[in-house]
Amino acid sequence: MLKDILSRLKKNADGKPKRNPVTVPYRYQINAEECRSCDKCKKACKAGAISGERGKAYVINEQKCIKCGDCMKWCKYRAIKRLAMYSEEPKQ
């Protein structure tokens, strides 16, 4: 976990994402059963953290996610949830 935190801080020092994911106590996750692979969230994600293809559920890469919440705003199917960082919800 410490390694993960240090790597995120280093990314910030390099001038990439402005928001500090370490201090944000939640994570974003796509519900595979609700995702309709419409591609909106992927286009909206400025961190390039979402991947997927037509016909399959999209996935958020937590290592790249800067937790801006834009994807959740764009998903009209409400497939993206904001979860507590260490919630019981299984990770993607």
Which one, of 19, 20, 18, lies nearest residue 6 by Cα?
20
Task: Note whether 42 and 52 are within 8 A (CB).
Answer: yes
**Which structure tokens are listed for 6?**
């240090």
Shortest Å, Cβ 31 to ligand SF4: 8
Minimum distance from residue 63 beta carbon to ligand SF4 (Å): 11
**Shorter beta-carbon distance to ligand SF4: residue 3 or 46:** 46
Among residues 2, 24, 25, 40, which is the contact residue for ligand SF4, using CB under 6 A?
40
> What pairs with residue 51 in β-bridges?
59
**Does 66 sit near ligand SF4 (CB under 6 A)?**
yes
Look-up of token digits 């993607």: 92
Instruction: Give Rg (Cα) of the chain.
Output: 13
Which parts of this chain interact with ligand SF4 (CB under 6 A)?
A: 28, 30, 35-41, 44-45, 47, 49-50, 58, 60, 65-71, 74-75, 77, 79-80
